Amino acid sequence: MSATKAPVKKHNGPRESLFSRSGAMLVMAICTFYFLIPIWWLFVAATKDRGDFTSSAPLWFADFNLVENIVNLANYRDGLFFQWMLNSILYAGAGAAVATLFATMMGYALAKYSFRGRETLFNVVLGGVLVPATALALPLFLVFSQVGATNTFWSVFLPSIVSPFGVYLARIYATSSVPDELVEAARIDGSGEVRTFFTVATRLMTPAMVTIFLFQFVTIWNNFFLPLIMLRDEKLFPVTLGLYIWNSQVNQIPEIRAYVIIGALLSIIPLIIAFLSLQRFWRSGLGTGALK
Amino acid sequence: MANRIARAGGALVLVSALALSACSTGAGTDGGTDAADACTPSDGPVTLSFTTWLPGMEDAAAIWNEQNPDIQVEVQTGPNGLGGTYNNFFNQIEAGNAPDLGQIEYDALPNFRVQDGVVNIASCEGVMDAQDEFIDWTWSQVTFGEEDSVYAIPQDTGPEALFYRADLFEAAGIDIPTTWDEYAEAAAQIREEGGYITNFSQSDINAFAGLVWQADGQWFENDGEAWDVTLDSPESLKVADYWQGLLDDDLVATLPAWTDEWNNGYNSGDVWSWVSAVWGANSITSGAPDTAGNWAVAPMPQWNEGDSAAGNWGGSSTAVLKGSEHPYEAAQFALWLNTDPEALASMNATANIYPATKTGGDLPAFSEGLDFFGGQNIYDVFAAAGAEVNPDFTWGPTMTQVYTDVADGFSGAISGSGTLTDALTIGQQKTIDAMKAAAIAVNE
């Protein structure tokens, strides 16, 4: 039961009827179609020049100008958009990495050490899951104002490195996947607690860590309200905020619409890459967490 | 992605509403300082921060920075005002780290005034003398008619006129309407041709306000002690009745504004005209590229034959925000930015702004005919309109709420429940309630 990379087990139970199976497939096909249509629209729209954008069919190609549009975007305001992409990758990538480390350490500690106030501490952290990030943005702004750190990289980065849900997931996972005997054996062999964590526990907890990383990466990538409140220097903006600001200028500067659309398309690429490359960990990680 | 932006926008509106009400109750009632704040130069070099959502403001600031080594201006940006920048301003003012200068639209300025968020710069050198440089109505927007008070420097305006498809009107043998009665008649004729004379936007309440403005109507008045709310003034209801009539007879389209559908309405020739502001030229040029060369601009239709009244839609000012340590320098920059021909030309080039100065229409950019409009120099029409805008129109201190509530009523009217008149009457009551809730003195 404690296999870290359990192969997907073949289901040998009684098979469902053809009717219910095709019914399920139909529902799923409709859902997939429904969710993919906006992305398809975005892709098609990103390949059009301005004239075709309004006049041609929205869900099919006119002249294919994707490359031209990307070049235009790269030239607009000296490639500001790609600065935003880099910022987002930095906020989300580094933020999620640090958040994963912290969450895993705490989850492991809560699972493997018994100390006074352990459950209280855990419940307080769990309470953090219930507080939406949006509600914390304004208090955070006032706190950062006190120390004069608004409109800096840190004002967006620091609040991103905590993940209460990650702590929860890490604790559950550590309880089931890191046997007490193994930790005990490491101690007997003379390994310190920190070394045990990094050499033994993290190996066993990799699926959970990948899951936490992905969750947090997506959360930070999509976090829009905190940067909106904190940042005023456009060189620090993440891509979501930058595109939102451009989008709000469309009424007055209509050319920007094309940049918003092509930018929106490009901005989902890192998320797709992250998902595809870490997908198998994501699945096994989530499944294990859910079963326990 | 678009979906995500929309959702974020939704969350934003919600939080904005909370933040707004929190700020309003905290900041207390109408009033603030009566006398102009003292305004003296700072010692030594200063750096000013300036938050604006106009793209390319860095270019104008670079010209200033070159000429004024001791007063450097750093440009910061954000979404448009209602999209988040106003809330940011209020939060920053509360936290004591607001930028020295901020872009504020005319319809939001009373809110900042009521919440004591802007500095009275009347005593800063050169500010009072600049009055004559600006179009009269813009100056009353930034002074609120108070003595010795200037709360911002006007930046740009949106005088309104009638964009119309010259080719279609001519082919159908319809004269260009000069009165609203003629406009309604033309609407019926165009409907028989299979088109719509225009589109009625359910969401652009400030555009509707522009129509009321043209009709000599008022939505708000402030006698120095309390506000009067007159969303249901006779002029306002007259305009609402007029458009309700066109809606009832299916003579105007009701496409959601600023969408592809809406662009396509104009691009395909289904919709023949648009009463809009000077910046509407950009919207129509980019939204309806296939119709290039076929458009023209005429003055707005009038309520009384022979009049030349015009409305206004949009426009911003540059304000010195509360907490600035260098109001003198900030005021100097704001004056320069909004009067210097080089600065105005720069802002026009990067952000399409139409200046608020009397001579702003003389910029080289406005002296040529445009191919999209068949070679017509449309800016002549808008310059004439700008001079005819009623200087007494006043915005209220809770315009965000007014826009939301009236837009709710308008979209109801368009889908057949209630009328535009109902929307204004209900909006009137909701506005009074909202102002009371924010502890703003209001007459009933």
pLDDT one-digit tens code per residue, B353-381: 999 999 988 898 899 899 999 999 999 99
Cβ–Cβ contact B17 with A under 8 A: no
pLDDT at residue B7 is higher than 90? no
Cβ–Cβ contact B237 with A under 8 A: no
Contact: B53, A42; criterion CB under 8 Å: no
Tell me what pLDDT residue A283 has.
Answer: 55
Query: CA B334 to CA B339: how far, in whole Å?
Result: 9
Other beta carbons within 10 angstroms of residue B443's beta carbon come to 12
Q: Where are the domains of chain A?
A: 2-46, 72-291
Please tell me the least confidently modeled range out of A119-123, A183-187, B33-37.
B33-37
Please give the mean pLDDT across all residues of chain B.
89
- Chain A residues in contact with B263 by the CB 8 A cut-off are 54
pLDDT at residue B53 is higher than 60? yes
Q: For A131-149, what is the mean pLDDT?
A: 91
Please tell me the least confidently modeled range out of A48-62, A139-153, A225-239, A258-272.
A48-62
Q: Which two tokens stand for residue B405?
A: 């509530």
pLDDT tens string A145-190: 999 999 999 999 999 999 999 999 999 999 998 999 999 999 999 9
Burial label, A253 (beta-carbon count in 10 A; 0-12, 13-18, 19+): buried
**Closest CA relative to residue B310, chosen from B160, B135, B162, B107:** B160
Tell me what pLDDT residue B17 has.
Answer: 41
Contact: B77, A148; criterion CB under 8 Å: no
**Chosen from A152, A244, A267 to mutate, greatest number of chain B CBs within 10 A:** A244
pLDDT above 70 covers a percentage of chain B that reads: 92
* Sheet hosting strand B153-154, strand order edge to edge: B71-77, B46-52, B101-105, B316-320, B153-154
Tell me what pLDDT residue B129 has.
Answer: 94
Q: Which two tokens stand for residue B181?
A: 């009665």
pLDDT tens string A19-29: 888 999 999 99
Select from A54, A58, A134 the Cβ nearest to the Cβ of B267: A54
pLDDT at residue A4 is higher than 50? no
- Chain B residues in contact with A146 by the CB 8 A cut-off are 95
**Could you tell me which residue, A86 or A289, shows the higher pLDDT?**
A86
Which residue does chain A place closest to B89, by CA atoms? A229
pLDDT above 90 covers a percentage of chain A that reads: 60
Q: Do the beta carbons of residue A46 and residue A262 sit within 8 Å? A: yes
Query: CA B152 to CA B143: how far, in whole Å?
Result: 8
Contact: B290, A55; criterion CB under 8 Å: yes
Select from A145, A225, A254 the Cβ nearest to the Cβ of B286: A254
Q: For B372-398, what is the mean pLDDT?
A: 94
Query: CA B169 to CA B163: how far, in whole Å?
Result: 12
- How sure is the predictor about B18, in pLDDT bands with cuts at 50, 70 and 90? very low
pLDDT at residue B27 is higher than 60? no
- How sure is the predictor about A3, in pLDDT bands with cuts at 50, 70 and 90? very low
Please tell me whether residue B165 adopts helix, strand or coil conformation.
strand
pLDDT above 70 covers a percentage of chain A that reads: 90
pLDDT at residue B25 is higher than 50? no
pLDDT at residue B34 is higher than 50? no
Chain B 295-354, CB below 8 Å of chain A: which residues? 351-352
Tell me what pLDDT residue A50 has.
Answer: 73
Q: Which two tokens stand for residue B402?
A: 């007014």
CATH of domain A72-291: 1.10.3720.10
Q: Which two tokens stand for residue A172?
A: 């559950």
Please tell me whether residue B277 adopts helix, strand or coil conformation.
strand
| Pairing state between β B101-105 and B227-229 | unpaired
Which residue does chain A place closest to B277, by CA atoms? A252
pLDDT tens string B188-221: 999 999 999 999 999 999 999 999 999 999 999 9
pLDDT at residue B14 is higher than 50? no
Q: For A273-287, what is the mean pLDDT?
A: 68
Smallest Cα distance from A246 to chain B, Å: 7
Contact: A249, B4; criterion CB under 8 Å: no
**Chosen from B14, B18, B77 to mutate, greatest number of chain A CBs within 10 A:** B77
Please give the mean pLDDT across all residues of chain A.
87
Residue B52 phi, psi dihedral angles, 5° rounding: -150, 155
- Chain B residues in contact with A133 by the CB 8 A cut-off are none
Please tell me whether residue A109 adopts helix, strand or coil conformation.
helix
Which residue does chain A place closest to B80, by CA atoms? A248
Q: For B103-122, what is the mean pLDDT?
A: 95
Select from B12, B94, B283 the Cβ nearest to the Cβ of A251: B283
pLDDT at residue A280 is higher than 80? no
Query: CA B51 to CA B76: how far, in whole Å?
Result: 5
pLDDT above 90 covers a percentage of chain B that reads: 79
Strands (E), B94-171: 101-105, 153-154, 160-165
Smallest Cα distance from B14 to chain A, Å: 11
- Chain A residues in contact with B282 by the CB 8 A cut-off are 252-254
Predicted structure pTM score? 0.85
Contact: B287, A54; criterion CB under 8 Å: yes
pLDDT at residue B420 is higher than 70? yes
Tell me what pLDDT residue A59 has.
Answer: 79
